[in-house]
């Protein structure tokens, strides 16, 4: 497995990491629906056994629950991965979520406790909101790094101008943006900027939250639990849903040539961009993890990459 250096850090990471959003469980604003914790722990162990060496989570996933599950899984695992988590989305006793860059010191202590570690390998600002507090928040992030509570600091969902403001205070190890063949907004400005400044990029939702796995159907979408955020996501609504499922079907034909799934092809498409360091890939059970792990080594040829792009252009 070819591991890549994340930005200017000493972190050498596998081409895909385990994404822990869905394992936060149900009953919160951005839930994927109910989730069995034993399935989550088994999925994490399977990912580590197959060579994935980093886990990306966030305090807000399940309102702390994802971090707790990750902490339990890693404590009982034979391999010890890098742990990445995020701050700046906080909640109250009513489980209502708000954006804040003024509680980072409290947040890091809570995350350290839930993850059961003394230092977080990569600590990221989840969202740059409120925008006027970016400098204050990033200053605290830099302080935490100097104090040794976090090893490296990164951002998520930041624009170029917001990264430029943060860079005046302290270096940025990485940026975590959404990127898939259904969401290419970062190609114009953000990826060229991070590539130029050697800021690592770990993209989330390379399979667009399950839509490009090849396992999604209209019937499955219709039966999503009431607390699954995807029920209201635009790409899961018509007419986009039919278009997106046709793209997934096309990816199946590419994957069949190599005995890999449509999801693996979707992940490989994002990794084909030289500005992408690695991709975050979720898994809710060991079977799902095994299905996507070939993305660790599978790569598209230039001809296949062009073939997929031509299909996308023909189905805008």
Which positions are catalytic?
61
Rounded (5°) CA angle 241-266-5? 140
Whole-number Å distance between alpha carbons of 182 and 210: 12
Q: Which single residue is written with the structure tokens 């790569």?
A: 299
Cβ-based neighbours of 196, under 8 Å, separated by 6 or more: none
Q: What is the largest CA-CA distance in the chain?
A: 53
Alpha-carbon distances of 87 from 15, 83, 156, rounded to whole Å: 24, 14, 10
Q: Determine contact, residues 105/112, Cβ cutoff 8 Å.
A: no
259 φ/ψ sector (left φ>0, alpha ψ -120 to 50, else beta) = left
Whole-number Å distance between alpha carbons of 236 and 172: 34
Rounded (5°) CA angle 69-72-74? 105
């Amino acid at each position: 497995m070819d591991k890549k250096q994340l930005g200017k850090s000493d972190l050498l990471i596998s081409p895909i990491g385990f994404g822990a959003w869905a394992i936060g469980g149900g009953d919160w604003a951005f839930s994927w629906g109910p989730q069995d914790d034993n399935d989550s722990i088994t999925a994490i162990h399977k990912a580590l056994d197959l060579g994935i060496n980093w886990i990306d989570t966030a305090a807000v996933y399940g309102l702390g629950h994802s971090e707790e599950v990750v902490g339990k899984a890693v404590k009982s695992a034979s391999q010890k991965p890098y742990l990445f988590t995020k701050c700046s989305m906080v909640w109250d006793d009513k489980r209502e979520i708000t954006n804040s860059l003024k509680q980072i010191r409290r947040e890091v202590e809570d995350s350290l406790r839930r993850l059961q570690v003394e230092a977080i390998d990569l600590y990221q600002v989840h969202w740059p909101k409120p925008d006027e507090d970016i400098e204050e928040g990033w200053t605290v992030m830099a302080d935490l790094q100097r104090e040794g509570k976090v090893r490296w600091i990164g951002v998520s969902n930041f624009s170029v101008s917001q990264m430029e403001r943060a860079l005046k205070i302290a270096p940025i190890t990485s940026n975590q943006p959404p990127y898939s063949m259904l969401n290419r907004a970062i190609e114009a400005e953000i990826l060229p900027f991070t590539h130029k400044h050697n800021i690592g990029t770990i993209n989330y939702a390379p399979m667009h939250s399950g839509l490009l796995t090849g396992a999604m159907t209209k019937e499955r979408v219709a039966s999503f639990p009431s607390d699954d955020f995807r029920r209201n996501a635009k790409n899961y609504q018509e007419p986009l849903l039919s278009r997106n499922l046709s793209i997934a079907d096309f990816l199946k034909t590419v994957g069949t040539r190599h005995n890999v799934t449509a999801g693996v092809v979707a992940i490989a498409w994002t990794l084909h961009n030289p500005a992408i360091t690695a991709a975050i890939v979720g898994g809710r059970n060991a079977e799902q993890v095994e299905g996507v792990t070939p993305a660790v080594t599978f790569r598209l040829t230039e001809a296949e990459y062009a073939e997929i792009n031509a299909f996308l252009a023909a189905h805008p």
